[in-house]
């Protein structure tokens, strides 16, 4: 089966600070990666994506970094806000037609 997470790691940050969420992916053949945000009881929401020919991509308040050498992906959120509180998943596309999800990280933002 695909990746399964039994316990979600949690990142707690203060409002206004920057957040960095990390993800290790499994397949060296993966050439496309996506970060999703999932709020409780809702489906995943697309945040940002990156292809393997890039090592950095920026969006609005978010930056994704890709290190193919160590198969590591990170999501940086600038000036974290309470509305950013959610579970964040990275997903990889191993050159097939489906996505493999990571275990997820819960982001908690404190005032």
Stretch that binds another protein, among 20-28, 34-42, 68-76, 77-85 (CB under 8 A): 34-42
Binding of another protein by 75 (CB under 8 A): no
Phi, psi at 82, each rounded to 5°: -55, -35
101 binds another protein (CB under 8 A): yes
Q: Can you spell out the DSSP letters for 53-78?
A: T-SEEE-SSEEEEEETTTTEEEEEES
Residue 2 sits in the site that holds another protein (CB under 8 A): yes
Neighbour count for residue 10 (Cβ, 10 Å): 10
Contact flag: residue 53 with another protein (CB under 8 A): no
Kindly write down the DSSP assignment for every residue of 8-20, as one continuous string.
--EEEEETTS-EE
Contact residue for another protein among 19, 25, 44, 86 (CB under 8 A): 44
Judged by beta carbon, residue 4 or residue 111, the one nearer another protein is 4
Tell me: does residue 24 bind another protein (CB under 8 A): no
- How far apart CA 41 and CA 1 sit, in angstroms, is 23
Q: Does 54 interact with another protein (rule: CB under 8 A)?
A: no
Residues forming a β-bridge with 63: 58, 76
The residue ranges that bind another protein (CB under 8 A) are 1-8, 32, 34, 36, 41-46, 49, 89, 91, 93, 96-104
């Amino acid at each position: 089966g695909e990746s399964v997470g039994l316990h979600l790691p949690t990142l707690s940050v203060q409002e206004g600070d920057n957040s960095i969420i990390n993800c290790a992916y499994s397949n060296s053949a993966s050439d496309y990666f996506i970060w999703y945000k999932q709020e409780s009881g809702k489906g995943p929401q697309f945040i940002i994506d990156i292809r393997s020919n890039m090592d950095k991509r920026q969006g609005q308040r978010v930056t994704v970094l890709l290190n193919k050498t160590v198969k590591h992906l990170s999501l940086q959120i600038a000036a974290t806000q309470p509305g950013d509180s959610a579970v964040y998943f990275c997903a990889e596309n191993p050159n097939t037609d489906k996505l493999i999800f990571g275990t997820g990280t819960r982001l908690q933002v404190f005032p």
